[in-house]
Amino acid sequence: MKRAIVIALVAMAAVFALGMLASNVVTYTTEVSPIVPWQALGSITVAEATQAANASSYATVWALADTKTIKWDVPGDVEEVEFRFQSTGNADSHVVEMWVAASDYVSDGQGDVMTLGAILTLTGGPLVGTHSNFFIKTIAVTASEGIFNTDDVIEDDTQDRYAIWRTDLRGYKKVVLICTTLQSSATLYCEARWF
């Protein structure tokens, strides 16, 4: 009988201890749409010709000079991205190509090849941006080129606001932007945010 009482007391103490532990468990929650501020990705000051088919390996494109490219190692949790651009002059015009790769290597260890993501034609506007430069107010996506050629452009040119280009990167984690047409003496800046 005493043994049964001892076992019952030990069992009750164990249940009480587990109850105390359970009441101190932290429940992790996330925001449905976390705030990601605009991130500066870089700038381009020198034009670069479009990449030829035999010059589009990851190693070749990633090795282009920093003055000619904006290179972005996309964080692992990024899928949907919004891009906005700024230029040093009002009404500057640029043509930007986005080149993408899933990784620098494929699964068998061979170097990957970059593919054309999109061709964007940009026109500056009078709205002054974060670097005392002018926001790009129109973005035209070339519909017949690139794997991201049907995504959203959000802008209101009639109000001289800035344009945003939104796309789903679909798992591509290496991005290189080049300017095949860069306004004379201009610097093009790119910022991104994701959700």
| Residues forming a β-bridge with 141 | 120
Predicted pLDDT of residue 71: 98
Tell me if 174 sits within 8 A of 104, measured CB to CB.
Answer: yes
User: How many Cβ atoms from other residues are within 10 Å of residue 83's Cβ?
Assistant: 24
pTM reported for the whole predicted model: 0.80
Q: Judge whether 191 and 38 are in contact, CB under 8 Å.
A: yes
Q: How far is the C-alpha of 161 from the C-alpha of 169, rounded, in Å?
A: 25
Residue ranges of alpha helices (H) inside 49-158 are 58-62
Please count the other Cβ atoms lying within 10 Å of the Cβ belonging to residue 99: 26
Query: Do the beta carbons of residue 122 and residue 93 sit within 8 Å?
Result: yes
Residue 9 CB coordination number (10 Å): 10
Please tell me the predicted confidence (pLDDT) of residue 18: 58
Assigned token pair, 190: 């790119």
Q: For residue 19, what pLDDT is reported?
A: 59
Domain segments of the chain as ranges: 39-194
Range 51-63 burial, b when 16+ CB lie within 10 A, else e: beeeebbbeebbe
pLDDT in tens, the chain (195 residues): 666 665 766 666 666 655 555 555 565 555 566 678 999 999 999 999 999 988 999 999 999 999 999 999 999 888 899 999 999 999 899 999 999 999 998 888 899 999 999 999 999 989 998 878 999 999 999 988 899 877 788 876 677 889 999 999 999 999 999 999 999 899 999 999 998
- What integer pLDDT is reported at residue 172 of this predicted model? 95
